[in-house]
Amino acid sequence: MSIDKKQFIHHYAKRACDGETSLFLGAGVSASAGYPSWMHLLKPCAKELGIEIDDKVDLYLLAQYYANRFSYSALKKIINENVNLLKYESTLIDELLNLNFRTIWTTNYDTVLENNLFKRNVLTNTVNNDRDLSNIIGNNRVNIYKLNGDIKNLDNIVITQKDIEQYEPSHELLLTFFKRELVTNTFLFLGYSFTDTIVLNCLNAINRCLKESTTCHYAIMLRGKIPDFDYFVNDLEQRYHVNVLVIDEYEELPNILKELNYEIKRKNIFFSGVFDKLPSDEDVFANDLCGKIAEALLKDNFAIYTGYGRNFGNYLAGNSLQYILYHNMNVNKHLIMRPFLKNMSFEDKSTHRKMLINDCHVSIFMFGQVPTENGYENSKGMIDEYEIAKEQRRIIIPIGSTGYTSFEIWKDVKKNIILYPYLERYIDSLNSKDIEIIVNTIVQILSEVC
Structural domain range at position 279: 266-449
Residue 19 has pLDDT above 90, yes or no: no
| Percent of the chain whose predicted confidence (pLDDT) is above 90 | 68
The CATH number for 182's domain is 3.40.50
Residue 86 has pLDDT above 70, yes or no: no
What is the structure's pLDDT at 213? 83
- Residues 210 and 279 placed together within one structural domain of the fold: no
- Residues 316 and 227 placed together within one structural domain of the fold: no
Query: What single-letter DSSP state applies at residue 185?
Result: S
Strands 395-398, 142-146: pairing is unpaired
Asked whether the beta carbons of 153 and 128 are under 8 A apart, the reply is: yes
Asked whether the beta carbons of 187 and 24 are under 8 A apart, the reply is: yes
How many domains does the structure of the chain reveal?
A: 2
- Residues 204 and 276 placed together within one structural domain of the fold: no
- Residues 272 and 250 placed together within one structural domain of the fold: no
Final residue of a structural domain among 262, 287, 318:
262
CB burial of 20-29 (b: ≥16 within 10 Å; e: otherwise) equals ebbbbbbbbb
Final residue of a structural domain among 240, 262, 284:
262
pTM equals: 0.89
Looking at residues 25-44, what average pLDDT do you find?
Answer: 87
- Residues 212 and 299 placed together within one structural domain of the fold: no
- Residues 254 and 279 placed together within one structural domain of the fold: no
- Residues 437 and 368 placed together within one structural domain of the fold: yes
Strands 369-372, 375-378: pairing is antiparallel
- Residues 290 and 313 placed together within one structural domain of the fold: yes
Looking at residues 230-244, what average pLDDT do you find?
Answer: 94
What is the structure's pLDDT at 297? 98
- Residues 370 and 385 placed together within one structural domain of the fold: yes
Residue 258 has pLDDT above 80, yes or no: yes
Round to whole Å and give the CA distance between 241 and 210. 11
Per-residue pLDDT reduced to its tens digit, 184-196: 999 999 999 898 8
Round to whole Å and give the CA distance between 22 and 412. 41
Round to whole Å and give the CA distance between 72 and 439. 67
- Residues 167 and 303 placed together within one structural domain of the fold: no
Non-local CB neighbours of 99 within 8 Å, separated by 6+ positions: 16, 21, 23, 188, 257, 260, 261, 264
The CATH number for 283's domain is 3.40.50.450
Per-residue pLDDT reduced to its tens digit, 332-345: 999 999 988 888 88
Final residue of a structural domain among 225, 245, 262:
262
| Helical residues (DSSP H) of 71-196, grouped into ranges | 72-83, 91-96, 112-119, 161-165, 167-170, 172-184
What is the structure's pLDDT at 420? 98
Per-residue pLDDT reduced to its tens digit, 349-374: 888 899 999 999 999 999 999 988 88
- Residues 158 and 278 placed together within one structural domain of the fold: no
Round to whole Å and give the CA distance between 209 and 389. 47
Confidence band (pLDDT; 50, 70, 90) for 53?
Answer: confident
- Residues 223 and 300 placed together within one structural domain of the fold: no
Looking at residues 173-188, what average pLDDT do you find?
Answer: 96
